[in-house]
Copies of this chain bind each other. A is one copy, B any other.
Amino acid sequence: MAHVSIIDIARLAQVSPSTVSRALQNHPRISPERRAEIVALAEQLGYRPSQVARSLVTGQTHTLGVVASDVTDPFVAEVLKGVEAAARRADYGLLMAMSNRDPAQEIEAAAVLLDHQVDGLIVISSRAPERYRHLPRTRAHAVGGAVPVVLLNHDFSEAGVYSVRMDNAGAASAAVTLLSQLGHRHIAFIAGPGGGQSSHARMTGYLQGLALNHLTPLPELILQGAGMLEDGWEALAALQAMQPRPTAVLCYNDLAAMGLLAAAAKAGVGVPDALSVVGFDNIPLSAYTVPALTTVEQPKAALGQAAVRTCLRALAGEPAPPVVMSGQIILRASTGPCRLPSAVG
């Protein structure tokens, strides 16, 4: 009994395999009693249709591919959770691969998933969006067009490439405005990984925010980073050495902010008294730091769900316009009024 097939059922029910096939997929043209009989028999025999065989003939695997930069990043994990939930609700399987933040690995992973004939591809935080243009993604069967690719957290208009992201610039700008309203004049920025759209957009938003609040952007107040704990940790020394000395910092993400918080605590730099810190993402842990982190909430699960929805829509041939969600500032204890007289005007 190496797996019961549609033929076994047909034999037992004394009908043809096609009848069984039809009965099992609620085909309209079949008599109710036959269907009932067959369905019951299938159930009783523990029949499970072979997705593989089905895929071969239909040209669809009912599977979505996800390539994530790094599940270990809480933001990515939350998004992935949203993707998984949505995919499952739609009865889609999820083939997962990790890019480890490396463009080459990302494309390689995407190619592998495509080889497994995923019906659609979702890429979380792409670093090589332009390469999807030339990635061969024709489908075996000429079911529809090419395999749709949804870029989560990236912009890229191209046929068959869809986009779901947050308004990073707007949110970063709002964060700067918050700090400005608290009286901060020298606001530093710890940037994110080069190549990422969110990184670029947050930087842009930071600059827009400064402009909006009539603050002069100073290149020396911008630090490089990669969105990791270590970045924030190492940033403290640099921040303290800056002229003018910043009284507030906007971080690329919560991870960097948490690293900074830890360094500040160790160095005895009071937060928020001596330094206000703002993160980005609102990962669960950000509510449990000391002091609790002021941050920008991203609708992480919703982003994941939207990506799946967009993908399925594209698959159905429906229009799937870019999705842009907006963030929201979560005010907690790591920000406060500027206590230091600013060195400059």
Interface residues of A (CB under 8 A from B): 1-3, 46, 48-53, 55-56, 61, 63, 70-72, 74, 77-78, 80-81, 84-85, 88, 93-98, 109, 111-117, 136, 138-142, 229, 233, 258-259, 261-262, 265-266, 284-285, 287-290, 292
Check A117 against B77 for contact (C-beta < 8 Å).
Answer: no
A78 CB contacts on chain B under 8 angstroms: 72
> Which residues of B have CB within 8 Å of A229?
284-285, 287-288
Check A262 against B289 for contact (C-beta < 8 Å). Answer: yes
The 7 closest A-B pairs by CB, nearest first: A2-B142, A262-B288, A265-B290, A96-B96, A71-B77, A3-B140, A52-B55
Partner of A52, one of B71, B114, B117: B117
Q: Which residue of the partner chain, among B93, B285, B287, contacts A113 with CB atoms under 8 Å?
A: B93
Could you tell me the distance in whole angstroms from the C-beta of A289 to the nearest C-beta in chain B?
Answer: 7
Shortest distance from the beta carbon of A291 to any chain B beta carbon, whole Å: 8
Separation of A287 and B258 alpha carbons in the complex (Å): 11
Copies assembled: 2
Q: How far is the CB of A152 from chain B (nearest CB, A)?
A: 15
Checking B56, B81, B84, B111 against A53 with a beta-carbon cut-off of 8 angstroms, the contacting residue is: B56
Subset of 15 A-B contacts with CB under 8 Å? A2-B141, A3-B139, A48-B111, A51-B116, A51-B117, A52-B52, A52-B117, A56-B56, A72-B81, A74-B77, A77-B77, A81-B98, A95-B96, A229-B285, A290-B290
Q: Are A88 and B81 in contact (CB under 8 A)?
A: no
**Contact across chains for A46 and B136 when beta carbons are under 8 A apart:** yes
Q: How far is the CA of A96 from the CA of B74 in the complex (A)?
A: 17
Q: Provided the pairs A48-B136, A117-B51, A290-B261 are in contact, do residues A80 and B88 lie with their beta carbons within 8 angstroms?
A: no
Q: Is the CB of A96 within 8 A of B98?
A: no
| Interchain CA distance A81-B77 in the complex, whole Å | 11
A136 to chain B, nearest CB (A): 5
For the complex, give the distance between the alpha carbons of A1 and B138 in Å.
Answer: 8
| Contacts known (A74-B72, A138-B3); A97 close to B84, Cβ less than 8 A | yes
